[in-house]
């Protein structure tokens, strides 16, 4: 009987210790349910705006009193929205106050021009259009409503909020397609039309007036980059035409873009190529199966180098991607390299997964590309409420990630982050590389070319060392 009593007491004490550890690590964050305000019986866009204010202030964590005041002022000073487009613009502007890239409108609904844009290293270009504007494909934008895209960029921060400069540049691709956003940023809009000056690849200049389409078009900050993919038809652009075709000889990052993940052999460069456009499984393949294919190819080839393309890894669940990160870090030999490609669309869980290469294999890692989309300390782990009338969906956040300085046990980080990820200080770019207007249209990849050049230089150095 005494033994049983001791076991019970020990069991209770053990669970009390676990509960104490859970609570001390901020575990209540994971248990707290969203606070949902009542929905007015009369639906209207004005009611949506009121609901928006209430649900954000009740649920967005980590904001300062000053930010809350400024957020409220933007809403109270705004004219009552007459269209979903106007409401979306108010939502974007108000949420930008919180200086957190995740905190945004997850599903936007705006009147958009019949073209889509993509930034390259030397300009903003048209990559997709309705068939009647196909002659504009591949053109570089010179001005939008009398302003250059470069001049509009700094102002776009009032609609994008946090993140890095590269993230705000990427988000401007969406904003520049909406005349109401252009007007707010300082472009001239005449009777609903935008005068656009373009330059063709053969240096011919064109001026055209474009109007937004009659129907609201959706958008998504974490997926808009797909407009640059060949023959992409997301976001209700079925039947549109693209600057690039799937029948062309495309670089690896633009091949089979209907798949999130891609694995290729590059034997002439003693490498394999691993592309992950998200940190979750593809619809036709689990990440466990993809990881096994990586292991099998690496073992079969005995490759020294692994090229990991995260330039479009928009995030998801980093716990699902970390096993692949660890496998690659372990697979590459001591005299090999992990070439990690990143860019503006390396975001959220994509940044977390990318960062852990530096923690696990710093001596093997070479980071290639350009600045990632967010700071190394950011808020995420939220929920996605919809505004009742308009259907505009929000991303509200409640948990911090800190890759720069790490997460202490008692700080405000999301609890799993304290156990599963490690600080890295910075994620510096070792080899800067971006695609240009010309390389994109030619189906070339200057980023991969920079990787290959580095591999060949390393080979040459190894041969010289062997002869000494």
Stretch 452-457: mean pLDDT: 96
d(CA 463, CA 152): 50
Confirm if 97 and 67 have CB atoms less than 8 A apart.
yes
Q: Of 233, 231, 272, 230, nearest to 440 (Cα)?
A: 230
The torsion angle over the Cα atoms of residues 101, 104, 107 and 112, rounded to 10 degrees, is: -80
Per the DSSP assignment, residues forming a β-bridge with 199 are 140, 205
Q: At what angle do helices 65-77 and 45-59 cross, to 10 degrees?
A: 180
Stretch 271-298: mean pLDDT: 97
List, for residues 218-246, the tens digit of each pLDDT value.
999 999 999 999 999 999 999 999 999 99
Residue 203 falls in which region: left (phi positive, over 0), alpha (psi -120 to 50) or beta: left
Joined tokens for residue 20:
């104490």
Lowest mean pLDDT, pick from 22-26, 139-143, 406-410:
22-26
Model confidence, pTM: 0.93
Confirm if 187 and 143 have CB atoms less than 8 A apart.
no
Stretch 303-320: mean pLDDT: 97
List, for residues 323-375, the tens digit of each pLDDT value.
999 999 999 999 999 999 999 999 999 999 999 999 999 999 999 999 999 99
Residues in the chain: 468
E strands of 212-336, at which residues?
Answer: 217-219, 241-242, 261-266, 271-276, 305-309
Residue 84, Cα to own-chain centre: how many angstroms? 24
**Is pLDDT above 70 for 4?**
no
Instruction: Say what the pLDDT of residue 30 is.
Output: 55
Joined tokens for residue 27:
């575990």
List, for residues 132-179, the tens digit of each pLDDT value.
999 999 999 999 999 999 999 999 999 998 999 999 999 999 999 999
Confirm if 331 and 294 have CB atoms less than 8 A apart.
yes
Element (H, E) at 191: none
Joined tokens for residue 421:
């990820």
Of the CA atoms within 13 Å of residue 324, those in its CB half-sphere come to 31
Of the CA atoms within 13 Å of residue 23, those in its CB half-sphere come to 6
């Amino acid at each position: 009987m005494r033994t049983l009593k001791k076991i019970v007491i020990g069991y209770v004490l053990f669970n009390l210790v676990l509960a104490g550890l859970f609570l001390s690590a901020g575990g209540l964050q994971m248990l707290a349910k969203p606070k949902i305000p009542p929905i007015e019986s009369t639906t209207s866009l004005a009611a949506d705006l009121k609901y928006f204010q209430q649900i954000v202030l009740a649920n967005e964590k980590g904001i300062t009193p000053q930010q809350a005041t400024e957020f409220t002022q933007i809403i109270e000073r705004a004219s009552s929205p007459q269209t979903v487009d106007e409401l979306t613009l108010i939502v974007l502007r108000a949420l930008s106050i919180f200086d957190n890239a995740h905190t945004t409108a997850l599903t936007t609904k705006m009147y958009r021009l019949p073209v889509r844009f993509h930034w390259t290293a030397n300009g903003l270009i048209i990559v997709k259009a309705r068939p009647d504007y196909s002659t504009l494909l591949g053109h570089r934008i010179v001005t939008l409503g009398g302003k250059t895209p470069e001049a509009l960029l700094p102002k776009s921060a009032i609609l994008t909020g946090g993140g890095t400069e590269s993230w705000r540049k990427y988000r401007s691709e969406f904003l520049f397609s909406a005349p109401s956003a252009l007007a707010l940023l300082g472009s001239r809009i005449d009777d609903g039309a935008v005068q656009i000056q373009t330059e063709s690849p053969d240096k011919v200049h064109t001026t055209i007036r474009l109007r937004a389409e009659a129907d609201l078009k959706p958008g998504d900050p974490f997926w808009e980059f797909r407009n640059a993919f060949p023959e992409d038809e997301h976001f209700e652009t079925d039947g549109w035409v693209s600057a690039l075709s799937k029948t062309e000889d495309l670089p690896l990052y633009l091949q089979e873009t209907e798949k999130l993940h891609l694995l290729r052999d590059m034997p002439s460069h003693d490498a394999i190529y691993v592309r992950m456009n998200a940190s979750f499984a593809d619809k036709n393949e689990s990440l466990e199966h993809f990881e096994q294919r990586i292991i099998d190819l690496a073992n079969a080839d005995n490759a020294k180098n692994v090229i990991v393309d995260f330039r479009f890894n928009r995030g998801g669940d980093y716990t699902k991607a970390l096993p692949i990160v660890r496998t690659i870090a372990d697979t590459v030999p001591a005299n090999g390299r992990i070439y990690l490609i990143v860019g503006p669309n390396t975001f959220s869980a994509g940044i977390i997964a990318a960062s852990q290469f530096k923690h696990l294999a710093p001596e093997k890692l070479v980071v290639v590309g350009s600045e990632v989309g967010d700071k190394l300390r950011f808020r995420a782990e939220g929920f996605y409420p919809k505004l009742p009338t308009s259907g505009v969906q929000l991303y509200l956040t409640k948990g911090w990630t800190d890759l720069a300085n790490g997460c202490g046990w008692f700080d405000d980080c999301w609890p799993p982050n304290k156990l599963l990820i490690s600080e890295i200080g910075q994620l510096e770019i070792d080899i800067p590389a971006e695609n240009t207007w010309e390389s994109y249209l030619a189906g070339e990849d200057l980023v991969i070319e920079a990787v290959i050049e580095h591999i060949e230089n390393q080979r040459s150095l190894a041969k010289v060392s062997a002869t000494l």
